[in-house]
Amino acid sequence: MLILSRRKGESIIIGDNIEISVVDVQGDIIKLGINAPRSLSVHRKEIYDEIQAANREALQNLPTAEQLKKLQDI
Amino acid sequence: MIIHSQTLGNIDIDPARIIQFPEGIPAFEEEKEFILIPLEEGPFCYLQSVNNSRLCLLMADPFVFFPGYQIDLPDEEIDKIEAQDHEKNLAVYAIISVPEDFRQSTANLMAPVIINMNRQKGLQFISSQPDYKTKHLLFPADQKVKEEGK
């Protein structure tokens, strides 16, 4: 992993079109500004992890034919 | 065109009805093509990957179970599914998880699947609305109590 130091107001550029800047630093909270093409999705990692886990669980928890029938009958 | 599904067996699909998911869906980012398989009646349908027979998810119309449900799709998401002029033909589905006790089935309201039916393009949108989580009971407790009291 590349690790580098930045001060408030400084930024890094990834490739030629993704810029991440440090907008503010207050204690252990860092506010980041992200400039990236709209086609790229940016998510908080823990949220993305949660959705991945939910999708995997839904795949594991497909209804049996019998369960599906009961679901439809409600 | 025949595709294989571990859940549904061999299914004959019309290639024109394949829906492109340019980003895949979280945990299955490499799967870009899906087909929507409606069930005979009711709000449920399957989302089956065209190329991965094991990837099949049960989904439901969230508005049937959660009448107040609403999502606010930002412009960049609308762009991804080319829906600028097609907002009236967007379909919204919640992915359903069915545990052993089917009455405990949950819907993922935090990350609905949005499909532009005109362009056959879809994505799984991650909402940042704090009220919506990945597990909302389809049949909340009060209803369950009523049924058990019959």
| % of chain A with per-residue pLDDT over 70 | 100
pTM of the model: 0.90
User: Quick one: pLDDT band at residue B149, thresholds 50, 70, 90?
Assistant: very low
Q: CATH number of the domain at B2-148, please?
A: 2.30.290.10
* Per-residue model confidence as pLDDT tens digits over B22-60: 999 999 999 999 999 999 878 999 999 999 999 999 999
Which residues from B are below 8 Å from A72, CB to CB? Answer: 39, 41-42, 44
Does residue A57 belong to any structural domain of this protein?
A: yes
Please name the helix (run of DSSP H) or strand (run of DSSP E) that holds residue A6, with its range, or none. none
Domain coverage including residue A43: 11-63
Task: For residue A3, give how far its alpha carbon lies from the nearest alpha carbon of chain B (Å).
Answer: 27
Backbone φ and ψ for B118, nearest 5 degrees, come out as -75, -40
* Per-residue model confidence as pLDDT tens digits over A18-34: 999 999 999 999 999 99
Partner-chain residue, chosen from B26, B54, B80, that has the shortest CB–CB distance to A52: B26
Q: What ipTM does this complex have?
A: 0.91
The structural domains of chain B, with segments of one domain joined by +, span: 2-148
Task: For residue A29, give how far its alpha carbon lies from the nearest alpha carbon of chain B (Å).
Answer: 19
